[in-house]
Each structure stands twice: as C-alpha cells, then as structure tokens.
Structure 1
Amino acid sequence: MLTVREMTVSETDIIVDYFLNATPEYMETLGLDPTRFPAAESFRKRLRREAELPIEQCSAVLVIWLQDGEPVGFSTADEITYGAQAHMHIHIVDPEHRNSGIGAECVPLSVALYFERLKLKRLFCEPYAFNIAPNRTLQKAGFKYLKTHMSAPGPYNFHQAVNCWVIERQNVLGSG
C-alpha cells in the first residue's frame, strides 16, 4: 500500500541520511554538490524546526512516500509563496525503487497535497536536465515543460542546466 503524507518531526532524519550518506557519484546525477550541505546536526535541527511550524509559516514542506509503511522516497516544497506558488523537489531514497515507476505514483499525490495545504495556484519543479528519471516522472504527472536554463535550483546544487516544469491548479485533479 502506498502512502503520501507530510513528514513527522521524527521522520526528517530520512532526508538528512539520504543526502549525507549518498555517494559523490549519485549526488552528481542529482546536480548536487556534497560540499554545500550543512553539518548533520545543523541540517537535522533545521528540518525538525520546519516540520513543527504551522503551514503558513513554513519555508519548506516535507512529504514522505511510504510503501507498506517503509520509506521509499520524499518530496519537499520550498520557495513558498503561500496562496500562490512553490518549488517542488522529488527523491527516491531506496535504490531498489529507482526507475520502478513509484515516483510517477507518488508525485501526483504530493502535488495534490501541496496544492491543498499551501493553497497554491502553481507548482514548479526544476530537475537537473541530464537526470532523465525525474523529467519523465514530471511529464507523466501532468507538468508542462517551460524551458531549459542554467541555474543553481537550490542551496546544495551546483550551477547546471535545469528543465523548468510547472503544473497549474486547474490541471490538478480535484483542485477545482
């Protein structure tokens, strides 16, 4: 059974462990620079604080993807303008589930959660242009391709080519 929901404070370590234990080679496929990550304890404290804030005050919303109660991935939304827009990030933590299609199942559920909880009009996602899996997943989930441009899409990314995707509220099932 697949479950997509906001993370609890105790689950935020999944994000810290995922990034800080990844190989440099895997980080490069994500467009991430391992030298830009904060120390583990600082990273943990920041994520725990975010998970405890009321939704209107969050600078990031953390969503966990569970299959049969076990974490397989997560999504985060940041650059949030409550009631307007945000940027989404997607990650599969379990290597056995990468390229399995689980992202295509979890992304639409995450999108619906972000639209509902943050009262969004639009949601963006800017994966590394050379990482094929998230780009295909976004297309399958109904995102519209806008452009490819050079950017550092997050504080832990190196400057890179990213594909900018967007989904509008009216295109999200049940978001009327």
Structure 2
Amino acid sequence: MSLVVREMAESEVDLIIDYFHASPPDHLELIGVDRERLPKREDWRAYYEVVFRQPLERRETLLLTWLDDERPVGFSSADKIVFGQHAHMHLHVTAADQRRRGLGGEAVRRSVELYFEQLRLKRLFCEPHAFNAAPNRTLRSAGFRYLKTHITVPGPLNFRQPVTRWVISRPAKLDS
C-alpha cells in the first residue's frame, strides 16, 4: 500500500459526485444518505466551482483525496468549519475492493493531520451512522474519542438517523 492523502483538486470532484450517484440503495442507507437529497450532477459541480474560488479561511468545505498506488480509493471532506476552532469530517472508501483492508484508519489519521494544519483546528468531529460499524471502528483506531450517540439529520444529504459523535483534539504543542 502506498497511500497518499492530499487536498482534492477541483478537477477531481466527480469522485465524490459519482460515488454518491452510483452507490446502490443499500449502501446509501448504510451511510445514512437519502438519494432524493442528492444534488443533480451539474448543480453539484457548480457548487464546487464556487467553493474552490473561496479562500481557505472562508470555505464551507475542504475536500481530500485518498490515493493508493496513484489510484483514487476514497475521500474525506470537512464541513461545518469554524476556521481555527473546529469542523466535522466525513470519510468514504469509494473502492469497494479496498474496504476492510485497514486503509481507512491510515487515511483518516493522515486526513486529520491535514485538517488540523490547513484549517488550524483545535477539534475535529465525526458523526457516522450509528449502525455503520466500519467508520465507527475506524475512528476509534485513528484516535478519536467517543462522545455520544444521538438522533439527528447530520447534513443536507442525510435522513434523520442515529449517529455516533466522535472527537479528536489537536495535540498540545511542546515547547522546545
């Protein structure tokens, strides 16, 4: 495995759009996504065009690409960003053949580092569907701390669902 995690280029946003639009109904249900809430492909691309024109400090979202041997295998996004304070992350292994191989844990750890660095965060939250065991295991293994399980609509693509809230805090800097 030669995993690379980096900021997503605007030309790569179809990775996200195609992932959601091509996912079968049972997978969307598992991740808590309502197909009826997915934006049309062209509307979604237009939204990302606007996002990528914003300075990082004012962006609604920051997108990361996960590559293994230069092949896209997943992505992460951060939203609900309060620059310099906190954000919420999402994680998706898009290549079904790469799931359950340990890739997610390492990709999440590297994503966390980039979010803390790029957004100057103090805390990063993640709220996967409570019944989706894979991301909940991944977050624990990546150093996130369990906060609570509650029912909410986590985002604009989601239906009302039980989610598990996790948090990771930026390590305190050591004085040298």
* Pairwise TM-score range, normalised by the shorter structure: over 0.9
CA offsets, 1:58-88, max 9 Å, x none?
Answer: 1000000000110000000000000000000
Contact in 2 for aligned 1:124/1:166 (Cα 8 Å) = yes
Contact in 2 for aligned 1:5/1:65 (Cα 8 Å) = yes
| Structure 1 residue matching 2:131: 3-state secondary structure | coil
How many angstroms apart in 2 are the aligned matches of 1:73 and 1:52?
23
Residue aligning to 1:108: 109
Contact in 2 for aligned 1:2/1:67 (Cα 8 Å) = yes
Give the Å deviation of 1:101.
0.9
How many angstroms apart in 2 are the aligned matches of 1:70 and 1:158?
31
How many angstroms apart in 2 are the aligned matches of 1:169 and 1:131?
26
Give the Å deviation of 1:52.
3.5
Residue aligning to 1:167: 168
| Structure 1 residue matching 2:23: 3-state secondary structure | coil
Residue aligning to 2:60: 59
Q: When the two structures are superposed, what TM-score results if normalisation uses the length of structure 2?
A: 0.95
How many angstroms apart in 2 are the aligned matches of 1:18 and 1:127?
17
Q: Give 1:7-156 correspondences, 5 Å limit.
A: 7-156=8-157
Give the Å deviation of 1:44.
1.3
Contact in 2 for aligned 1:146/1:165 (Cα 8 Å) = yes
Contact in 2 for aligned 1:9/1:52 (Cα 8 Å) = no
How many angstroms apart in 1 are the aligned matches of 2:168 and 2:153?
21
Give the Å deviation of 1:37.
0.8
Give the Å deviation of 1:98.
1.1
Contact in 2 for aligned 1:7/1:51 (Cα 8 Å) = no
How many angstroms apart in 2 are the aligned matches of 1:6 and 1:141?
19
How many angstroms apart in 1 are the aligned matches of 2:113 and 2:40?
32
How many angstroms apart in 2 are the aligned matches of 1:86 and 1:113?
12
Q: Which runs of 5+ in 2 are unaligned?
A: none
Q: CA RMSD in A?
A: 1.1
| Structure 2 residue matching 1:109: 3-state secondary structure | helix
Residue aligning to 1:158: 159
Structure 1 runs of 4+ with >2 Å offset: none
